[in-house]
């Protein structure tokens, strides 16, 4: 079982249950990857999914570093340009620690 893929599927299901619409998953570029692309009404939402089996080092919410944020912004900019998106966008974080899911809207 791929823990990362399972976490992304759990996040996708969770967000869909909260009204978001799935658009794409695992959009890869040489410089970064978008775990999930969703829609929340008129907003495009780029979702980073983080999984941690325990909170020993701060858990999944603390697992997002500045360099990764930069790569995510770059990947989203590329996606927006390729798909000619002219709509509000945001970055969300779905942090999964075993059975708990934390959804941080507008994480960065």
Instruction: Give the pLDDT confidence score for residue 98 in this predicted structure.
Output: 75
CA distance 60 to 58: 7
63 neighbors 76 (Cβ within 8 angstroms)? no
Instruction: Give the pLDDT confidence score for residue 48 in this predicted structure.
Output: 95
CA distance 92 to 13: 15
26-66 pLDDT tens trace: 999 999 999 999 999 999 999 999 887 765 555 555 667 88
Burial (CB < 10 A; 0-12, 13-18, 19+), residue 49, is buried
pTM metric for this prediction:
0.88
Of the pLDDT bands very low, low, confident and very high (cuts 50, 70, 90), residue 100 is confident
Domain ranges of the chain: 3-104
1-5, 16-20, 80-84: range with lowest mean pLDDT: 1-5
For domain 3-104, is the CATH number 3.30.70.20?
no
CA distance 74 to 34: 10
């Amino acid at each position: 079982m791929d823990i990362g893929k399972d976490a992304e599927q759990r996040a996708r299901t969770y967000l869909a249950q909260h009204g978001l619409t799935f658009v794409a998953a695992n959009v890869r570029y040489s410089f970064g990857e978008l775990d999930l692309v969703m829609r929340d009404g008129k907003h495009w939402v780029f979702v980073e999914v983080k999984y941690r089996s325990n909170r020993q080092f701060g858990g999944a919410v603390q697992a997002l570093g500045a360099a990764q944020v930069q790569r995510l912004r770059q990947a989203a900019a590329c996606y927006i340009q390729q798909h000619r998106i002219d709509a509000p966008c945001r970055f969300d974080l779905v942090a999964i620690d075993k059975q708990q899911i934390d959804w941080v809207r507008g994480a960065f």
